[in-house]
């Protein structure tokens, strides 16, 4: 994989790339020595291409983001001769994902690509997998334990949060009240998005009041709907909302439509799932920040193969972010996530 542009604005002038402090980063085939680590620790001799096995455990088996990641991983696995098994829980929860990870401890594939549903609560399970010699590659989310895994592949979520803050700040003309609605604390990606959003908004838009972050612990659209409806009732000046993922976006969209505030309260959110694209088309959301999950899956397979073959492994790979609005949606259709693997 040679393309590596951490943030691309797709014709929008929302924020200069330099302001995000990002630089282009090449993939493992051309990475600098500083970004690579030897294939890690404690396992058997390098595998041949004919015997390489890997498992991908996503955060939610039916989520279009992870479906698209599966597409990228499957295509790269076929290209590199890797026997790949894919699975995931029916919802983004620790109890749903834990038995799948524990099963890997028993089956012992050469590599595990995993998007953990919590940054700490699955560490003991992942440590057991790693101790068995399976190479762990984190895709999308990751563990806060830096001793786990040989590579971490994800969007620069802090930068994505900054991009969301800049775009919403400009939409509001630097004034107003903004709600921040995210998932339960402990998910590395959404935590980083909120961090970037709040830091950028506070630094650049002092005329905008940020409401305290609200966390959709149940990971249901219903709770996010309740949050935004309560915010509208309690804050007559509410003019914007940042939602950190697709679940919260869908819940907030329902609340905005129910209260008649859709289009009046400006919404910026993450991910280009079919539901978010519909929000753009109906002006319920004004901007979505798309990731490249297929690239994350493909890069994950590439790094797993490097680890299994004893080649240098890139420890951290940031994947691109693409800002999509109704004005550039028609030219950015390739970044809309797949609803099923039949669309790969």
Q: State the pLDDT at residue 323.
A: 92
What is the rounded CA–CA span in Å between residue 317 and residue 305? 15
Q: Is the torsion defined by CA of 10, 193, 155, 85 positive or negative? A: negative
Q: State the pLDDT at residue 31.
A: 31
**pTM for this entry:** 0.81
Read off the pLDDT of residues 99-117 as tens digits, 9 standing for 90 and up.
999 999 999 999 999 999 9
What are 112's two structure tokens?
């595990």
Q: State the pLDDT at residue 111.
A: 98
Give the Cα-Cα-Cα angle 130, 133, 134 (nearest 5 degrees).
65
Q: State the pLDDT at residue 210.
A: 98
Read off the pLDDT of residues 286-313 as tens digits, 9 standing for 90 and up.
999 999 999 999 999 999 999 999 999 9
Read off the pLDDT of residues 266-284 as tens digits, 9 standing for 90 and up.
999 999 999 999 999 999 9
CATH topology of domain 157-290: Rossmann fold (3.40.50)
Q: State the pLDDT at residue 219.
A: 80
Q: State the pLDDT at residue 48.
A: 43
pLDDT less than 50: residues of the chain: 1-50
Q: State the pLDDT at residue 49.
A: 43
Domain boundaries, the chain: 25-155+292-319, 157-290
State the number of CA atoms in the 13 A half-sphere of 326 facing the CB.
11
Q: State the pLDDT at residue 98.
A: 98
CATH, domain 25-155+292-319, list 3.30.413.10, 3.40.50.2300, 3.40.1280.10, 3.40.50.360: 3.40.50.2300
Q: State the pLDDT at residue 122.
A: 98
């Amino acid at each position: 994989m040679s393309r590596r542009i951490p943030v691309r604005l797709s014709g929008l002038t929302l924020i200069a790339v330099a302001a995000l402090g990002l630089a282009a980063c090449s993939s493992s085939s051309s990475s600098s020595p500083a970004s690579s680590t030897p294939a890690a620790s404690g396992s058997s001799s390098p595998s041949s291409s004919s015997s390489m096995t890997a498992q991908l455990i996503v955060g939610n088996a039916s989520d279009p983001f992870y479906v698209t990641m599966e597409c990228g991983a499957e295509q790269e696995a076929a290209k590199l001769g890797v026997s790949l098994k894919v699975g995931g829980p029916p919802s983004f929860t620790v109890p749903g994902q834990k038995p799948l990870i524990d099963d890997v401890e028993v089956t012992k594939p050469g590599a595990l690509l995993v998007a953990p549903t919590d940054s700490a609560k699955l560490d003991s399970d992942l440590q057991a997998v790693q101790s068995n010699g399976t190479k762990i590659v984190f895709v999308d989310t990751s563990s806060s334990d830096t001793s786990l895994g040989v590579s971490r592949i994800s969007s620069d979520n802090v930068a994505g949060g900054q991009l969301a803050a800049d775009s919403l700040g400009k939409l509001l003309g630097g004034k107003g009240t903004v709600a921040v609605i995210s998932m339960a604390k402990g998910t590395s990606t959404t935590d980083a998005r909120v961090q970037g959003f709040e830091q950028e908004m506070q630094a650049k838009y002092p005329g905008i009041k940020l409401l305290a972050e609200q966390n959709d612990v149940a990971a249901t659209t219903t709770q996010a709907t309740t949050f935004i409806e309560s915010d509208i009732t309690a804050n007559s000046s509410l003019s914007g909302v940042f939602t950190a993922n697709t679940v919260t976006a869908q819940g907030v969209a329902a609340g905005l439509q129910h209260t008649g505030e859709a289009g009046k309260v400006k919404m910026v959110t993450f991910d280009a799932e079919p539901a978010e694209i519909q929000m753009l088309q109906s002006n319920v959301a004004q901007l979505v920040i798309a990731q490249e999950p297929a690239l994350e899956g493909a890069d994950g397979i590439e790094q797993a193969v490097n680890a299994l073959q004893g080649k240098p492994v890139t420890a951290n790979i940031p994947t691109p972010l693409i800002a999509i609005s109704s004005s550039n949606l028609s030219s950015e259709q390739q970044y809309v996530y797949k609803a099923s693997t039949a669309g790969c």
